Amino acid sequence: MSIRKRYTGLIETYRDRLPVSESTRIISIGEGNTPLIQLQNIPRLIGKDVDIYVKFEGLNPTGSFKDRGMTMAVTKAVEEGSQAILCASTGNTSASAAAYAVRAGIKAFVLIPEGKIALGKLAQTLMYGAEIIQINGNFDVGMALVKQLADHAPVTIVNSINPYRLEGQKTAAFEIVDELGTAPDFHCLPVGNAGNISAYWKGYSEYARASENLKAVTDKRPVMCGYQAAGAAPFISGKMIDHPETIATAIRIGHPQSWDKAWNAQKESGGWFDAMTDEQILAAQKMLSQFEGIFCEPASATSLAGALQDIGAGKIPEGSSIVCTLTGNGLKDPDTAISQCKDTHPVTIDATLDAVKRAILDRM
C-alpha cells in the first residue's frame, strides 16, 4: 500500500517555479489544489458540443482565489521582516489578508468601502481579528490611499500591485495544465482589478516556455477572455471609470491596478474583453447552482455568463475546451443568493409520517 504525501500548499508544490529559497518560512493554510469540475448538464442544456470546466477557487481556505496570491505575498513580507500588512478590499482580499496575517503572527490593516462589502466577507475579516478601517469611498479610493500610505507607514501592501501576489495566483494555470495534460482552448475569467487574468497568462506562458532549469510542460496557451460587469467595465470603455456599480461586489472596480498586464494578456493570447449585465451574471450563478450543484458568488459567475454568450454567438466554436474560473464561494454573499430565491418558501406541515409523505408525493 502506497502512502500519499500530505498536501501542504501551493508554494511547496511549485517551489521550483516560485521565488522562495530552502530557508524561506512558508506561510500557508493549505491553499491551492482546488477542483477542476467538468460541467455535465449545462452543455446539454444549451445544446452545444463543448467541454466546459470550472476551476472552483471558492474552495480555497478563506473561500476565494485570493489565498493563492496571499500565501506568497505574506510569505515574502515575513521573509523581509515586515510586522504588518495592508490592503484595500471589496471583501475577499481583506478576508484572505487577515487570515494569513494570523497564521504568520503579524497584524493586518484593511480599508473597506462603507456599506459596499458582502456580509460573508465582512464576517470573516472580523473573526480573523484584522484592524478594519471603513472609508467613505469605493475600492478605487481605498486603493489610492493604500498606495500613498506605503511611504508613510511601516507596512507591506498585499494588493495585487505586490508582484508576489501574481506569482502565487499563476499556480492555478499550472494546476489546470497538470490535470488536463495541456492548456484549454479558451480560458474565461471575471475581471475587476485584473490581477487574475494577468496571473493566469503568466502561468500558462511559463508552462509553455523552457528555461535553463525547467522543461516546457505544454506547447499550447489558451485564448484569454475577460468579462466585466456592465456597470464596472473600464476595459470595455478603454478608460478608467470613477463610479463603478454592480451587484457583483468583488469586481466593482473602475481603476484596475493590473491594467497594462491585462491588456497584454488579451492581446498576446488573441482574446477579448466583454461586459455582462447584472441580470446575466445572476442567471449564470443560479444556473450553476441549480443544474450543476456549484454555488459561487455573483462575480464568479461572470466568467460562465460570458462563456455562454460567446458559445451561443459562435465566437467560441463547438468542439472547444473551455475553463471558467469561479473566483469565490457563494457563501461570501448570502444576501444576494437569498434575494434570488425570495419566491421560494419552505412548506410547513404537521410532524407526522402521512403529512411528510403527502408533501413529498405532491412535489414529485
Q: Is 134 helix (H, G, I), strand (E, B) or coil?
A: strand
Span 283-322, pLDDT tens digits: 999 999 999 999 999 999 999 999 999 999 999 999 999 9
Span 195-212, pLDDT tens digits: 999 999 999 999 999 888
Q: Degrees (nearest 5) of the Cα angle 162, 211, 324?
A: 55
Residue 2: per-residue pLDDT: 65
pTM: 0.93
Long-range contacts: 313-317, Cβ < 8 Å, 24+?
315/272, 316/50, 316/185, 316/186, 316/225
> What band does 347 get if pLDDT is binned at 50, 70 and 90?
confident
Residue 272's H or E segment, with its range, is: strand 272-276
Q: Which three cell numbers stand for residue 346?
A: 419552505
Span 90-107, pLDDT tens digits: 889 999 999 999 999 999
Residue 323's H or E segment, with its range, is: strand 321-326
Residue 1: per-residue pLDDT: 58
Quick one: CA dihedral 15, 206, 202, 187, positive or negative? negative
CB 195 within 8 A of CB 6: no
d(CA 356, CA 73): 53
> What band does 344 get if pLDDT is binned at 50, 70 and 90?
confident
> What band does 113 get if pLDDT is binned at 50, 70 and 90?
confident
Q: Degrees (nearest 5) of the Cα angle 210, 212, 217?
A: 25
